[in-house]
Amino acid sequence: MFGAGSTYSVEVSPVTADRTNVTGTADLSGGTVAVTYLPGTFVAKSYTILHADGGLGGTAFAGIDAPTLPGLTSSLVYDYTANDVYLQTTAVPTMGAGLNENQKSVDTALLDYFDRTGSLPGAFAGLDANGLSQVSGEVAAGAANAGIDSADQFINALDAQAGQGAAGPAGGGGATAYAEDRAAGDKDQFASLGIKASHNADLVGSVFASRWQAWGAVYGGSQKIGGDAGVGSHDTNSDIFGIAGGIVRNWGDTRLGVAIGGGSSSFSLSDDLGSGHADTFNVGVFGRQGFGDAYIGGVLAYGFNDTNTSRVVPGDTLEASFNAQTWSGRVEGGYRFATPVAVLTPYAAFQATAYHLPAYSETSAGSGDFALGYGSQTTTATRFELGLNLDKDIPLRDGAKLTLSGRAAWAINGGTDRRVTATFQGLPGATFTIDGAEPDTNAALLNTSATYTTSSGLFASLGFQGEFSGNVQSYAGKAKIGINW
């Protein structure tokens, strides 16, 4: 029997606790349990501290006096049996100052779960700030960044002007030289039709220009997007490699083409927060329409990404496999100005890529306490460009030519959110949102290329491109070969 003001002292280790066995009925009224925690690492656990053969008679201790354990609360429990008193240590999320936004999001989800259920698995006890980042699953946002970059590089490979030179489609392949030879001899015939002599060569060039083009390309690049310490996002690195091939049909100033391709990408987050790999299949259509010196062009593309991710969490390795999809489009218009030095083409363009992440779940190599299930969501990245192209044709021997091209542009990025929503599989309703590394709104784009074209229509080109902003560095290259006929 415990009288008013009495104390029941209990020493507790991480493994066991003091226990009193009563042969009769225990009257706990008025007593206080004084807990002493011995040195060691404690987790959420239940300890039997008193057993009464005759039961507790409906009584309970007046309270508990226990020191604070990191990430744990101490309480007395009576409802397991009618004969026992338990000391329960329960994990509690460590919400507090110093956490970034991502860490707070995870911590809040755990706290809400604890408020709803009154308990939390021991694996979550004492998670510090770094631990919250480890279990957040930010690697899914890295997959989105890599998928969008892969789609952008495939679009760049579908260059409707490749192999045509500064003169445009009517000057492609070896037909230009033939048109020039014919133009002088046919001058009077075209004049009799009311066509100005200065346009004779253009008309003949259009008639005899190459109508078909086939090409193949390899491309690749590397991108780094810096994280945000306040948000809690981490640096994301991705490497892309791809191949593509296509065929083009010319009708005067109109060009239409189709292409297919495939490739792979790898990505990783700083602080060893996860990595992944994707194998990609691409298909696209593209076209270009000239209106004198003006033009408008566009690309539509689709990508299928067979993606795998892996991340290490305390005491476990978590992996996932899913099929993500991308839909991309670009429209561009400009006006060409011929100068004695080069052809200058101011242009404007709009590009959008939608990356669809399906609902999927991670698998565990261990306990699976931190395994996540991700919700289905679509990230749409947009870009508006204002820039200038420079193209210069350099005639070479035997009717060949070298075309040097450059492009500089200012890009305004939209839809920069790289947000994913996840739920701890073992904690129903413990759902949170994580932000991955996001590219800055404003960026500079720089492109350069050189194309060699023979009189027979064969061509080969090599190009480089870069994107630079406050937190993005991206480098890519492309090699292309083909034939006009």
Highest average pLDDT, of 86-100, 153-167, 186-200, 456-470, comes from 456-470
Closest CA to 335 of 346, 322, 348: 346
pLDDT tens per residue across span 264-317: 999 999 999 999 999 999 999 999 999 999 999 999 999 999 999 999 999 899
Do both 23 and 151 map to the same domain?
no
115 neighbors 91 (Cβ within 8 angstroms): no
DSSP H or E segment with residue 241: strand 236-251
Do both 165 and 230 map to the same domain?
yes
- State the pLDDT confidence band at 372, using cuts at 50, 70 and 90: very high
Place of tokens 């053969």: 53
pLDDT of residue 148: 96
418 neighbors 436 (Cβ within 8 angstroms): yes
Do both 283 and 152 map to the same domain?
yes
Do both 126 and 107 map to the same domain?
yes
Is 97 inside any structural domain? yes
pLDDT of residue 333: 95
Do both 86 and 155 map to the same domain?
no
Query: Last residue of some domain: 134, 152, 183?
Result: 134
Is 153 inside any structural domain? yes
CA separation for the pair 413, 84 (Å, rounded): 64
Do both 316 and 214 map to the same domain?
yes
Is 349 inside any structural domain? yes
114 neighbors 93 (Cβ within 8 angstroms): yes
pLDDT tens per residue across span 314-357: 989 999 999 999 999 999 999 999 999 999 999 999 999 999 99
Mean pLDDT of 54-79: 85
pLDDT tens per residue across span 41-50: 777 788 999 9
Do both 51 and 164 map to the same domain?
no
Do both 90 and 149 map to the same domain?
no
pLDDT tens per residue across span 5-40: 789 999 999 889 999 999 988 888 888 999 999 988
Do both 73 and 121 map to the same domain?
yes
Q: Residue 232's domain is classified under what CATH number?
A: 2.40.128.130
Integer angstrom CA distances of residue 227 from 214, 260, 437, 440, 444: 41, 33, 5, 11, 19
Is 383 inside any structural domain? yes
171 neighbors 395 (Cβ within 8 angstroms): no
pLDDT of residue 89: 84
- Residue 464's φ and ψ, nearest 5 degrees, are -135, 150
- How many separate domains does the chain show? 2
pLDDT of residue 122: 74
Mean pLDDT of 191-209: 46
Is 123 inside any structural domain? yes
Is 393 inside any structural domain? yes
Q: What is the largest CA-CA distance in the chain?
A: 126
Is 42 inside any structural domain? yes
Query: Last residue of some domain: 102, 134, 166?
Result: 134
Mean pLDDT of 239-254: 95
Query: Last residue of some domain: 111, 134, 157?
Result: 134
Do both 341 and 305 map to the same domain?
yes
Do both 93 and 230 map to the same domain?
no
Is 71 inside any structural domain? yes
Domain range enclosing 320? 141-174+210-484
pLDDT tens per residue across span 403-418: 999 999 999 999 999 9
**Burial class, 406, CB count within 10 angstroms (exposed 0-12 / middle 13-18 / buried 19+):** middle
State the CB neighbour count (10 A cutoff) for residue 218. Answer: 16
User: Residue 68: pLDDT above 90?
Assistant: no
Do both 123 and 220 map to the same domain?
no
377 neighbors 355 (Cβ within 8 angstroms): no
- State the pLDDT confidence band at 161, using cuts at 50, 70 and 90: low
